Amino acid sequence: MQEILRLQMKIIPELIEILEKRYSILRTIYFNQPIGRRILANKLELGERIVRTEIGFLKDQNLIDINPPGMTVTKDGEEIIEKLKDYIHELKGLTSIEKALKENLGVNKVIVVPGDLDEDKTVLKELGKSAANYIKSIIKDNSILAITGGSTIREVVDSFPKTTQFNNILVVPSRGGMGKKVETQANTLASVLAQKLNGNYKMLHVPENISEEVMDTLIKEKEIRETIESIHKADIFLYGIGRAEDMARKRGISEKEIQNLNSLGAVGEAFGCYFNYEGKVVYCTPTLGISINDSARIKTHIAVAGGKSKVEAILSTCINQSQATLVTDEAAAKELLILLNVNA
């Protein structure tokens, strides 16, 4: 495919440009439907006249519908988006970026989606869909899947198609709850994903930032002990990545402790652990569930994060994690290669 692309770009570069533009318009409508023309033009940073012309073409090809609430993608349009995905992937050079990042970051696999989450929030849907598809490709009967909470992991769960092809799947929260939003807590997401997988789930009703004395008391409870035992048997671990200071504030850590994290060089956070630039853990939030030592025993990690703003956090949490698959976006991937001094 790469040789064909190279030839096409030499002989008919304008065709490639038109294809990429129309694909981007179709994809943007799909992830924002129903959407009006003016909002679409703003999102794509294109002139309204250009957008009007392209919309007319897509409508004539029966790829979109135009109704009072806004534009939507037809079944034919959805099929085009799906079938062109791999071609666009090659066209944008994302395959070579994935390969270079895998080799230099030291992870098992890298999946890169187009765009920049910091600039376009719809990229989160693409991240969620790609991570969900990957999980579906590797999960097996009797798998135990441990997941964290957060808006990124919620998108992965929302993107997961309902299926009955697997048997005896168990989904568990990886650690105690975090934050006030019930809909993005690990317990909630574990139950939703289990239902989509036609499996079972267990919950861990334990807050974070608790003392060792309280933890010793809680672990004596039969239900909590059984859930923790299941968590420690997980073979797939799905988690998001955050910037250290941002995540510390979400967890309600005091300003004094945040200053201490900064002094320790913490830049990234994943599953309650804070990492420095070298990928070393400098602090872990005390709670029941998966610790950094437990995580090392889980054979498959899936880390999901995007946007240039999270590049240092991604690097710190993923570097030399040979069991990890990183699902990220184009902007973060390119920035990671720069930090790693790699030319893709």
Question: What's the average model confidence in pLDDT over 182-202?
Answer: 93
Q: What is the pLDDT of residue 178?
A: 56
70-84 pLDDT, tens digit each: 999 999 999 999 888
CA proximity to 100, closest of 89, 110, 86: 110
Question: What's the average model confidence in pLDDT over 244-252?
Answer: 88
Share of the chain above pLDDT 70, in %: 93
Contact (CB, 8 A) for 125 and 154: no
Q: What is the pLDDT of residue 291?
A: 84
Q: What is the pLDDT of residue 245?
A: 93
Contact (CB, 8 A) for 36 and 70: yes
Q: What is the pLDDT of residue 276?
A: 95
Query: pTM for the whole thing?
Result: 0.87
> 223 or 202, which is more confident?
202
Q: What is the pLDDT of residue 20?
A: 86
Own/partner contacts of 15-19, CB < 8 Å, gap of 24 or more, are 16/91, 19/84, 19/91
Per-residue confidence band for 97, with pLDDT thresholds at 50, 70 and 90:
very high
Q: What is the pLDDT of residue 209?
A: 65
Per-residue confidence band for 275, with pLDDT thresholds at 50, 70 and 90:
very high
- Structural domains of the chain, with CATH: 2-91 (1.10.10.10), 94-339 (3.40.50.1360)
Q: Which of 171-180, 185-194, 200-209, 230-239 comes out lowest in average pLDDT? A: 171-180
Pairing between strand 70-73 and 64-67? antiparallel
> 5 or 154, which is more confident?
154
Q: What is the pLDDT of residue 177?
A: 62
Per-residue confidence band for 210, with pLDDT thresholds at 50, 70 and 90:
low
Per-residue confidence band for 333, with pLDDT thresholds at 50, 70 and 90:
very high
